[in-house]
Structure 1
Amino acid sequence: MKTLIKLLFFIAIYSVNAQNSISGKITDSNNKPLFGVEIYASEIHKGTTSKEDGTYKINNIPNGKIKITYTYLGFRTVSKVVTINSENKELNIQLEESFFQIDEIIVSTPFNKLQSENVMKVERLDAKSIRKLGNTTLSEGITNIAGVSQISTGTSIGKPVIRGLSGNRVLVYTQGIRLENQQFGGEHGLGINDAGISSVEVIKGPASLLYGSDALGGVLYLNPEKFASENDSEFNFSQRYFRNTLGSNTSVGGKISKENWKFLARGTYANHSDYKIPTDQRVTNTRFNEKDFKTGIAYSKNIFTSEVRYNFNRSNLGLTEGITDQSTSSDLLEPFQKIDNHILSSHNHFFFGDSKLDVDLGYTYNDRQEFEEHEDHDDDESEEEHDEHEEHEEAALRMKLKTFSYNAKYHFPKIGEVEILSGVQGLRQTNRNFGEEILIPNADVNDFGLFTTANYAWNRNTLQAGIRFDNRQISTERMEIVHEGDSHVFEAIDKSFNSFTTSLGFKTSISDAITARINLATGFRAPNLAELSSNGVHHGTNRFEKGNSNLTNEKNTQIDLSLEYKTEHFELFTNGFYNHLNDYIYISPTNEIEDGEQVFTYIQENAKLYGGEFGFHLHPHPLDWLHLESTFETVIGKQDNGDYLPLIPANTWRNTFRTEFTIGNWLQQGYSSLSLQSTFAQNNISNFETTTDGYNLLNLGFGGDVTLGKTKFSTSVSVNNLFNKKYINHLSRLKNDGIFNQGRNIVLGINFTI
């Protein structure tokens, strides 16, 4: 005890005395000072902006190596690793003009480098760009990233698809921890509101080395909004209106930061009616509403920094059964889902001179309820009695999923140009049922993984390699459910799944303009609870699902090739991939009928997916206000027996004409865009799918930052599906009912920051 007290006393004395800082001046290539440059050290949650004379200062910097990024619109991002040894550091920075997108630090990769420095190419989209697109949900917004699609149920429910892989094959990270929200279901959406999200990063390809099971197809990494700059405060109000759904999204947030402490909070409410299709009909009970609250607190002091965030999200989602009564009401009808999601995360960094330890802890609690449609109440029952009856009605299906996760990574001292990172990762998960209906039994899941990866850079080349071992334990209870005279037995399961995964990547700058990347990686996914143990009608998918307890790991090997050509005014890229999957799990009809529904069961077959993304970005000189962008994406998925895989997105070609402008002092960072999305016919279908016709959608957008006297705000207007085109996306779950996707949608947005 005395030793511990002495150690704590030493740390306290050290914290008081060590007051390191980084300061300097930021200029352009003509040595003119730059005002408003964002300076940020993500590891310690500290940041500031440069003053009118270009100077800046960040206090209370820990000893060791700290990465600082300097970001300014229209200039190339600079990233510097600074070594601090109980001294004040002066660092002057000169930024070069750049007409393309800002080069940001990528958080989802192991060494948190700039995108241009990464061995693995990661797609990134900032939140402001997503909101400009006028999408109703975050899941819909990220489909604008080449290679990313969504399986949708109306406008409220969307599941991300990366290069043809979806469900549990795509791992979602939010607040730095994995999101667990019963994502096995086809009608289960992302469950994350875009308010309070600063950017989205997408790893396309197996990322099991970093994240373990379920990252076989890729990772969707959601970065939370940053805290305010040091000794600063900020209040934000935003409002969006959606004409098609008569919906609104209101968000209010505030931030305050001192030298060591930082705090933020944000509340959001969204409410939508049934969406309208081009025939002027509304799709009954696709209405939804959402309440979201996010808060965070951070502390940094020399050798230690910590950040704690909490997110509560309540989503009430109508489940449509077709087009019936027409209404603009936003009151939900049965059947509907009520989903509460709690996410608590803690991120901690310990600095030991040239080395560093990161410890991330997370807890998620997902409470999913489904209310079924009941027969009309008795004619003698009053409306008040009926409403009271519905208020106390219990959910037919209720599952509570609790997940505790941990992730510890140690960054070894750099040896020459070699960086080494080792870590341990895992989770403890419990699923419990409380309704009269059961989709999956009560179960416990335990994950444990060990990994190490290294990065070596020399001249214009970078080599990165790693290896990982994982173990997943799944055990379920034996349960027998009797419902409406039918009995279903869930047999007990006790399974263990092990896997080794590896990765090897190489990046080289062939010239100042040409960069090439090649990555070879293996991934795995243990079968989920639904695939192993289902035994009953899944009303969300209108089928009887039977699990298969004999399923084994899915394993894949993927090779990615990437080539980029970038000059001051032109950028060209091509990405190709080939993905071979052993024991690919998919659901297939059995031609049997149980409980009035067709029986589907899970089987395995080797498969392959291949394709790529191609595009260019033209910024012609001297027309600095003009941008022409074009991307094409394609993927083909086939089983080894020659059959096509289900739920493979159709080929898509997007062309965007975009302008940027400033008008006097009242409109800054103005923009306008005209986008044509061409989706080709999908004729490569599985045995239980139907073909889908191609279509073209035209979208408009404009907006900017407005200053009227002392009032400053940003505004945006977007018009999606301008010509009200009738179309059905191949990945729409309403396709089998012949229900069109959303018609014309006008979205108005305004944002005040004080």
Structure 2
Amino acid sequence: MQKIIQALFLIGTSLVGYSQVTISGTISDSEKNSLFGVEIYAKDLHIGTTSDIDGKYTLKNVPHGHIELIFSFIGYEPVIKELDIHKDITDLNIELTEGVFHMEEVIISTPFNRLQSQNVMKVEVETLKEMRKKGAPTLIDGLTNVAGVSQISTGTSIGKPVIRGLSGNRVLVYTQGVRLENQQFGGEHGLGLNQSGIESVEVIKGPASLLYGSDALGGVIYFNPEKFAAENSFVSSINQQYFSNTQGSSTSFGLKKSFNQWKYILRGTHDNHLDYKIPNGDRVTNTRFNETNLNAAVGYNNELISSELRYNYSLSNLGLTEGIEHQEKSRTPELPNQKINNHIVSLHNHIFFDKSKLDINVGYIFNDRSEFEDEHGHDEHDDHDDHDDHEDEEDHDDEEHHEDEAALQMELSTFNYDIKYHFPKSESVAIIAGAQGMIQTNRNFGEELLIPNARINDFGIFTTGILDFDKSSLMAGLRFDNRLLETEYHAVEHEDEVHEFPALDKSYNSFTASLGYKFDLFKDITTRINLASGFRAPNLAELTSNGVHHGTNRFEIGNPNLDTEQNFQTDVSLEYENKHFEFFVNGFYNNLNNYIYLNPTGEVEDGADVFEYTQENAKLYGGEVGIHLHPHPIDWLHLESAFEMVIGEQNNGDYLPLIPANNWTNTFRSEFDIKDWMKNAYASISVATTFEQNNVSGFENNSAGYSLVNFGIGGNLNIKSVKFNLTANLNNAFDESYISHLSRLKGDGIPNIGRNFIIGVNFNL
């Protein structure tokens, strides 16, 4: 795999000798006034620039053939220009018209990379800047600002995304353009990503198996990495955040440098937090955590190819709480705890032909997850009776693994590849065909065994196209996938009981399809109707579990006869938007066959209640509705309101587990400038009301409702020629005591975090 990455990246460096193509022009408004600071970005090339004081711009090293340029400026409608370039110098003047509430984003997670308003699929976008404005202490907390997205939390350090009631392996996470694989089947296995190096996030709410294959049955969360600096520029930045509740700190330092063809990014971040405090003043013991994160990127482009190589390393040490016990302010997690090493390498290549394009993307993820316990039974070690020849494990089982420090240690290696060919575009038709795959290996080195050693091989082929009419668009696609799964036999002796993990050799196949139509139902009302099918092959835990899962305090029994989950979802959305008012309503109905879930047997083994994996057909339905009012002439005032709900039911009449409660959030925000020393300033107050959750599964309890009040203020400051960005937030301002229905500490009656003051400063040096 290393040789493949080197070869692909060297394609770019070997094509330096071609003539340069330059695009230049002037950007003005509808009254022919020059616009200063307009962003010009070519997403496939990873290059960009800004207009000068006279509205002029120049973009070099642009390839011959078909490219897209994005022109965006706050307060104006963005413009996408599709160009077929066949000469070395191109003049392109742009006129921008005044926009509505915000600057639209180009959607990267869908195949045709259109603006939000132009996209056939409804995709939500949230930038990291907006997350910080709303006081999100972590990346997963920021995601919950998107209507329809929640989180299953274990304290403040561990959070798993939930999209319209579906979570775990049913929600696929992408980062750096590759799928994130980090043993996400576990209830206490969090997202594992830091805010550092993230530019924005896109959320597809619904089946996206056509685009991404297995595990995208419930939706996709797509994190976009930070962009390179503008051409021929250097940017250094320091970001510091402080969190009063955990006396926590997040420090990040980054460097970005871009030349005509080469671009570089280097960023390091360190976070550390105490145990979080609840409203009665107690701290929840051993919820402390610390993380170290490193991001590096290098990009190269000429008129034939654009290459981008990125690397992310994270080291996390997370405490696993056992309740409210002794009170201390240590920053070092005690036992039990998790230590997670994660490496992500991704390489993206865009190869440009005359009127078409080939994308070749590869990624490698190495995830080492170790769990340390108070007593993990040094005398009760595993009796691994491997029936297969496993010399590679014996070679790897060196001194560090013989130290018997980790009760549980799993190493997951994943290689991803994604090849797409963009056929030549006509005025109304665009078509993409491609192949995607994943080669994955899981190995165990700890004394305990949660899932066996296994190998997974995914392969899928697909095609999708879009047809544009005068005021509407039709998009459709078809895909075939195959997953091969092999596990090794293991037998584990524990408390005089032998837990067996039989060897499996499984193959899962699936066809998926999607059909979407976007049109204007009435003037200024955009309508989207999307029909999509999805699938998910059973994961290793569901197929093979046979023992106590300490993270969930259950004895779990897998079922090797589980079938593939299949679903079909209908989405309908309506949006009305003008300069001063925006309204949206989204509705969905998700029919899910062979839904896999844990069912209690009523038995007790090894001191834990026994649960077994089983299947039942189910359905989920609900939606989101919201408004955004920007009244004239009170241009500085914004009123936003959003309500979201989801109901999940099995066909036997029981409710599904882990379904978020209905939520209603109202925000009042003002935007203003104060002379020359505070620009783009804002102040906000939001009230988030979570309703009672009484629609619970057989082993869940009802949850009470609650309301949280949050305040925020910030802006760009210029004090004695020192420029920096400031954000300050007071979350849960009235120190409300509450327990989220999706908190994994709910069973112990432990409240969520109390009042938290968060202040952040960012200096561009």
Measured against the shorter chain, the TM-score band is over 0.9
- State the distance in 1 between where 2:279 and 2:45 align: 50
Residue 137 of structure 1: how far off its partner (Å): 1.4
In the aligned structure 2, how far is the partner of 1:652 from the partner of 1:49? 40
Residue 680 of structure 1 aligns with which residue?
Answer: 691
Shift of 1:482: 2.0
Which shifted more, 652-661 or 477-486? 477-486
Paired position in structure 2 for 1:460: 471
Match of 2:229 in 1: 228
Q: Is the 8 A contact 2:203 2:219 kept in 1?
A: yes
Q: Distance in 1 between matches of 2:280 and 2:629?
A: 38
CA–CA distance in structure 2, aligned partners of residues 718 and 137 of structure 1: 13
Bigger mean CA deviation after superposition, 150-159 or 590-599? 590-599
**SS across alignment from 1:44:** coil
Q: How does 1:550-565 map to 2 (within 5 A)?
A: 550-565=561-576
Paired residues of 1:437 and 1:483 also in contact (CA < 8 A): no
1:192 alignment partner in structure 2 = 193
Farther-moved stretch of structure 1 (415-424 vs 732-741): 415-424
Amino acid at match of 1:200: V
Query: Bigger CA drift: 505-514 or 693-702?
Result: 505-514
Is the Cα–Cα contact under 8 Å of residues 235 and 256 in structure 2 kept in the other structure?
A: yes
User: Match of 2:174?
Assistant: 173
User: 444, 456, 460: which is aligned to 1:449?
Assistant: 460
> Conserved in 1, the CA contact under 8 Å of 2:526 and 2:575?
yes
* Paired AA for residue 661 in structure 1: F
Tell me by how many angstroms 1:709 deviates.
Answer: 2.5
Does residue 748 of structure 2 align to residue 747 of structure 1?
Answer: no
1:427-438 alignment runs, 5 A limit:
427-438=438-449
Contact 1:646–1:689 (CA under 8 A) maintained in structure 2: yes
Which position in structure 2 is the counterpart of 1:264? 265
- Is 2:519–2:527's contact at 8 Å kept on the other side of the alignment? yes
Partner of 2:701: 690
- Could you tell me which residue of structure 2 aligns to residue 623 of structure 1? 634
Letter in structure 2 aligned against 1:718:
N
Query: Deviation of residue 77 (structure 1)?
Result: 1.1
Tell me which residue corresponds to 2:100: 99
The separation in 2 between residues aligned to 1:718 and 1:593, in whole angstroms, is 46
2:645 paired with 1:644: no
Inter-partner Cα distance in structure 1 for 2:235 and 2:116: 29
Deviation at 1:484, TM superposition (A): 4.5
Matches within 5 A, 1:50-89: 50-89=51-90
Give 1:386's aligned residue.
none
Flag the 1:606–1:376 CA change in 2: closer, same or farther, 3 A.
closer
The one-letter code of the counterpart of 1:507 is K
Match of 1:142 in 2: 143
Whole-angstrom distance in 1 between the partners of 2:376 and 2:297:
45
What's the CA shift string for 1:135-187, capped at 9, x where partnerless? 22101111010000000000000000000000000000000000000000000
Aligned to 2:159: 158
- Equivalent residue, structure 2, for 1:566: 577
**1:290 alignment counterpart:** 291
Counterpart AA for 2:407: A
Of 590-599 and 151-160, more deviation after overlay is shown by 590-599
Which residue type is aligned with residue 311 of structure 2? Y
Instruction: Letter of the 2:370 partner, please give it.
Output: Q
Q: Deviations over 1:362-390 (max 9, x none)?
A: 0000000000013999xxxxxxxxxxx9x
Q: Is the 8 A contact 2:286 2:321 kept in 1?
A: yes
Indicate whether 1:601 and 2:639 are aligned: no
Q: 2 CA distance for matches of 1:638 and 1:511?
A: 35
Whether the 8 Å CA contact 2:12–2:302 is kept in 1: the answer is: no
Counterparts in 2 of 1:612 and 1:118: CA distance versus 1, 3 Å: same
The residue number in structure 2 matching 1:307 is: 308
Determine the structure 1 residue equivalent to 2:47: 46
**Does 1:237 find its partner at 2:238?**
yes
- Aligned equivalents of 1:287 and 1:416: distance in 2? 56
In structure 1, the residue matched to 2:7 is none
Amino acid of the structure 2 residue aligned with 1:357? L
Instruction: Measure, in 1, the Cα distance between the counterparts of 2:405 and 2:252.
Output: 31
> 1:11 & 1:744 partners in 2: Cα distance?
51
Q: Is the 8 A contact 2:18 2:303 kept in 1?
A: no
Which amino acid counterpart does residue 101 of structure 2 have in structure 1?
F
Quote the residue 1:255 is aligned against. 256
Q: C-alpha distance in 2, partners of 1:11/1:543?
A: 52
Change over 3 Å in CA distance of 1:375–1:24 after alignment to 2: closer
Matched, 1:281 2:292: no
Instruction: Report the counterpart of residue 388 of structure 2 in structure 1.
Output: none
Amino acid at match of 1:167: G
1:184 alignment partner, SS class: coil
1:22 aligns with 2:23: yes
Residue 662 of structure 1 is aligned with which of 651, 666, 673? 673
- Residue 538 of structure 2 corresponds to residue 527 of structure 1: yes
For 1:136 and 1:320, locate their aligned partners in 2 and report how far apart those are by CA, in whole Å: 20
Report if the CA contact (8 A) 2:488-2:502 is conserved: yes
- How far apart are the structure 1 equivalents of 2:317 and 2:497? 29
Cα distance in structure 2, aligned partners of 1:402 and 1:196: 23
After superposition, the C-alpha distances for 1:47-103 in whole angstroms (9 at most, x for unaligned) are 001000000010011011111111111111111111101331111111112231211
Q: Which residue is equivalent to 1:203? A: 204
Note if contact 2:12-2:306 (Cα within 8 Å) is conserved in structure 1: no
Give me the whole-angstrom Cα distance separating, in 2, the residues matched to 1:696 and 1:675. Answer: 10
The SS at the match of 2:555 is strand
Assess if the C-alpha contact under 8 Å between 2:265 and 2:297 holds in 1.
Answer: yes
- On the 8 A contact 1:436/1:483 being kept in 2, the answer is no
Aligned counterpart in structure 1 of residue 488 of structure 2, from 467, 477, 480: 477
Change (3 A) 1:524 1:511: same
Distance 1:95 1:486 in 2: 72
Q: Tell me the alpha carbon deviations over residues 224-265 of structure 1, each in whole angstroms, 9 at most, x when there is no partner.
A: 000000000100100000000110000000000000000001
Q: Secondary structure at the match of 1:16?
A: coil
CA distance in 2 between partners of 1:559 and 1:11 (Å): 43
For residues 100 and 676 of structure 2, the distance between their equivalents in structure 1, rounded to whole angstroms, comes to 22
SS of equivalent to 1:53: coil
Say if 2:404 and 2:446, in contact at 8 Å, map to a contact too: no
> 2:411 — aligned with what?
400
Equivalent pair of 1:625/1:660 in contact (CA under 8 Å): yes
Q: Secondary structure at the match of 1:141?
A: helix
Deviation >4 Å, runs of 4+: 10-15
Aligned residues: 734
2:165, 2:68 → 1: CA distance?
Answer: 36
Deviation of 1:505 (Å): 0.1
What do the CA deviations read for 1:486-512 (whole angstroms, capped 9, x no partner)?
321110000000000000000012345
For residue 633 of structure 1, the aligned residue among 644, 664, 667 is 644
1:382 corresponds in structure 2 to: none
- In the alignment, the residues of structure 2 paired with residue 652 and residue 680 of structure 1 have an alpha-carbon distance, to the nearest angstrom, of 6
Show the 5 A alignment for 1:320-335. Answer: 320-335=321-336
- State the distance in 2 between where 1:184 and 1:217 align: 14
Residue by residue over 1:210-236, the C-alpha shift from the partner in whole angstroms, topping out at 9 and shown as x without a partner, is: 000000000000000000000001001
How many Å separate the matches in 1 of 2:268 and 2:147?
Answer: 31
Please name the residue that 2:342 is paired with: 341
Distance 1:460 1:174, change over 3 A: same
Structure 1 Cα separation of the partners of residues 599 and 494 of structure 2: 25
1:421, distance to aligned residue in structure 2 (A): 0.3
Residue aligned with 2:17, SS: helix
1:708 Cα offset (Å): 1.5
- Which residue of 2 is the match for residue 109 of structure 1? 110
Q: Which whole-Å CA distance do the structure 2 matches of 1:49 and 1:485 have between them?
A: 70
Query: TM-score scaled by structure 2?
Result: 0.94
For 2:78 and 2:434, the matched residues in 1 are separated by: 29
SS class of match (2:44): helix
